[in-house]
């Protein structure tokens, strides 16, 4: 999977927007203004995704292409190198997982707003 495929996959999800709040190399994907992915445009081969802490550690142990994310809370964020030992199916699963992790933290008001969106 390449970064454009990652971007397109993220944008197909409900209520997702993209922005560049940090610099011209960090494309941030948000669901209702909450970040769930950061695509590194400079290296063009990695994405940072939110993850359940225990699952994050397990992934790092089993895949050399998954590490604690640089400049993020390493307990909750992994960086996945797209040119490593992670297949497309797992990358999509990890994007879905990251998205769901963010949805879990929504307030009742946010959840109601999310559920009424088309």
What is the mean pLDDT, run by run of 10 residues, along the chain of 118 residues? 97 98 97 97 95 98 97 96 96 98 97 94
How long, in residues, is the chain? 118
CATH code reported for the domain at 3-116 = 3.90.1150.30
Partnered with residue 79 across adjacent β-strands are 48, 67
Partnered with residue 37 across adjacent β-strands are 29, 49
Segments making up each domain of the chain, as ranges: 3-116
User: Which pLDDT belongs to residue 11?
Assistant: 98
User: Which pLDDT belongs to residue 118?
Assistant: 84
């Amino acid at each position: 999977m390449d970064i454009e495929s990652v971007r397109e996959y993220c944008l197909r999800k409900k209520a997702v927007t993209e922005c560049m709040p940090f610099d011209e190399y960090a494309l941030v994907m948000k669901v209702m203004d909450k970040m769930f992915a950061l695509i590194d445009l400079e290296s063009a081969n990695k994405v940072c995704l939110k993850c359940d802490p225990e699952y994050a550690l397990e992934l790092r142990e089993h895949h050399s292409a998954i590490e604690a994310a640089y400049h993020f809370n390493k307990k909750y964020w992994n960086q996945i190198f797209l040119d490593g030992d992670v297949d497309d199916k797992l990358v999509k699963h990890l994007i879905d997982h990251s998205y769901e992790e963010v949805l879990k933290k929504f307030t009742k008001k946010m959840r109601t707003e999310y559920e009424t969106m088309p």
